[in-house]
Amino acid sequence: MSVTKMYFGKTSDGREVNCFKITSSDGIEAEVLDYGVTIRTLIVRDKNQNPVDVVLGYDTIEEYENNDGYFGATVGRFANRICGGKFTLNGKEYTLALNNGANHLHGGVVGFSKYVWDAEEIEDGVLFSMTSPDGDEGYPGTLNLKVAVTLKNGAINLNYHAVSEKDTIVNFTNHSYFNLNGGAGDIHGHLLTLNADYFMMNDKGGLPTGEVPSVKGTAMDFTTEHAIGDAIDSDDDAVVASDGYDNNYVIRENPAAIVRSEKNGIVMTVITDQPGVQLYTANKTSARKGKNGAEYGRRSALCLETQHYPDCINHPEWPSCILKAGEEFNSTTTYSFSINKD
């Protein structure tokens, strides 16, 4: 395993951004920016041992700043949506930025995806760290967060560790856009399995309505493997609301998800200790240029964002996202890669 630090550019406000190339002995390579702990490249081998970059990304820091979609970034303090940007904790109401229509999304106007993090080499990868001050984007408590990005045993591992000086809420995820065919074309043909019997119905703004219906008999059912495109344009209410898939699934067991490309044999398996995973099929990704001149567009990738349930602070019946003062938050998500040669 080796780590190489490379200069990537400067943000519009003059902050220096570096790229850390992590190379493992088993053939996986990753490039991670200290801007947002952003996974810029993730190279694995296909069934013919050809290298394939399975995540979408950009060549310049300007593109990361100017394009929407959180490509590859670590998002927080609270990933996904909070209704009306409001929540009550210990009897006090907190008001957050409304940066997604009537809702708060992915930490607000300047979430963790826009921070330049500190970085240091560790065994098998890089440890990124940052401090979010009390009141940052409206959240209570000074929060110290570390994200370790490591490559080991054919997988990229993301470990999150956080401590807050006050009670607060946390929900961290990585927002990588995966295309196992290397970013060419859409992901309708990708084969997906989700170990989830229930999902969360959304309104047209992407916020959970509170309904948690069964996937059985609906376009949301991936309990047995089938192509993502099979029902993505159906008249099912859930996919119509999002113009595709953009819903939280209630994870029954690990692996939470398995994605497979019949074209090149690459298989990605997702293992997490979080209760939910957001399946997003890049329904709102506009046409744009990506790395090395690649053409990205609508449904050119899928995201599998491991997480607490969206807006769970306003639903006490769901698993809690509250981090008590002085307590440690630890969570790990692993994206592992293998080959199906059939």
Active-site residues, by number, are 175, 305
- Locate 243 and state its tokens: 């113009």
Distances (CA, A) of 338 to 44, 103, 291: 9, 38, 24
Q: Are 296 and 288 in contact (CB under 8 A)?
A: yes
Paired tokens of 246: 């953009």
Residue 56's alpha-carbon distances to 13, 66, 123, 182, in angstroms, are: 25, 15, 26, 8
- Provide the pairing of β-strand 2-10 with 16-23: antiparallel
- In this structure, the strands spanning 257-260 and 246-251 are unpaired
Distance CA 49, CA 1 (A): 19
Selection from 331, 332, 329, 333 nearest residue 143 by Cα: 329
Spacing of C-alpha 314 from chain mean position: 22
Q: Is 28 helix (H, G, I), strand (E, B) or coil?
A: coil
Question: Quick count: other Cβ atoms within 10 Å of Cβ 139?
Answer: 25
